């Protein structure tokens, strides 16, 4: 079996940034890790945890996802492709969750955060499902500055993979809410060039991407093979120059190495 750790280190050197990877086979527990315990800017990958927080609340509040949310254009921020089309009529909480996950709609994320106590509410929910490193300090779009060494709005690949597994596969959410999160993740439109590009034919994926300054390029995913247990992968990549370009290829290459390393 190839030495995935050495291959990821070589990829990181070629890519010219800092790469964090945690891949886990949920059946046999085998893992591939590279800088998995280091902090990285989460950028929009936090929206998977945000949706989990809303879903947990919906289990105790039937009808929450159907509640209508009214908002104005002033409530929206840069990159709000779905919410900007529905200012006149508003959207339901469930539609906002789908927009935040499947289109990474920033306005939707902020509207949802208002309902659970803002960034601190997202952080508290992350703690409640066992993620001790996660911290969300700011709203969209400020949370994407991704300044090297800045602990704000960061977590670790290991903790983000564990959180995704807890929410989408394990028992952090009741069964109906877990299925809803899976459906939202499977419907994502933003990840085709990242982990999905490394996925073998016949597999299924649900993922949440994130992108920010300093060329920060992220993706967290659940992969379902045609048979056998799912695989959870969290890949985070960030660079030294503020205007560095995003690198989908680095994420896809890291995913290929990780999947190969899991065997």
- Residues annotated as catalytic (active site), given as ranges: 44
* CA separation for the pair 217, 210 (Å, rounded): 6
* CA separation for the pair 205, 182 (Å, rounded): 9
Question: Phi and psi dihedrals of 234, rounded to 5?
Answer: -125, 125
The length of the chain is 263
| Residue ranges of E strands in 40-147 | 40-41, 68-69, 91-92
- CA proximity to 228, closest of 22, 2, 21, 30: 30
3-state secondary structure of 112: helix
Question: Phi and psi dihedrals of 254, rounded to 5?
Answer: -65, -40
Residue 230, CA atoms < 13 Å, CB-side half-sphere: 18
């Amino acid at each position: 079996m190839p030495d995935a750790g050495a291959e990821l280190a070589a990829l990181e050197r070629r890519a010219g940034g800092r790469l964090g990877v945690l891949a886990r086979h949920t059946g046999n527990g085998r893992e591939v890790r590279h800088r998995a315990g280091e902090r990285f800017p989460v950028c929009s990958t936090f929206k998977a945890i945000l949706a989990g927080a809303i879903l947990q609340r919906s289990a105790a509040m039937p009808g929450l996802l159907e509640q209508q949310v009214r908002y104005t254009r002033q409530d929206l921020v840069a990159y709000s492709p779905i919410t900007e089309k529905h200012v006149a009529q508003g959207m339901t909480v469930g539609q906002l969750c789908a927009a935040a996950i499947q289109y990474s709609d920033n306005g939707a994320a902020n509207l949802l955060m208002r309902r659970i106590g803002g960034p601190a509410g997202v952080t508290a929910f992350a703690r409640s499902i066992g993620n001790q490193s996660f911290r969300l300090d700011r709203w969209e779009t400020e949370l994407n500055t991704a300044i090297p060494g800045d602990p704000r709005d960061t977590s670790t690949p290991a903790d983000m993979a564990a959180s995704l597994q807890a929410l989408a596969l394990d028992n952090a959410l009741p069964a109906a809410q877990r299925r809803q999160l899976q459906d939202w993740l499977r419907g994502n439109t933003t990840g085709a060039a990242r982990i999905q590009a490394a996925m073998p034919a016949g597999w299924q994926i649900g993922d949440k991407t994130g992108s920010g300054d300093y060329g920060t390029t992220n993706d967290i995913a659940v992969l379902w093979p045609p048979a056998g247990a799912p695989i959870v992968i969290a890949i985070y990549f960030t660079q030294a120059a503020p205007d560095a370009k995003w690198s989908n290829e680095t994420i896809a290459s890291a995913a290929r190495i990780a999947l190969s390393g899991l065997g």
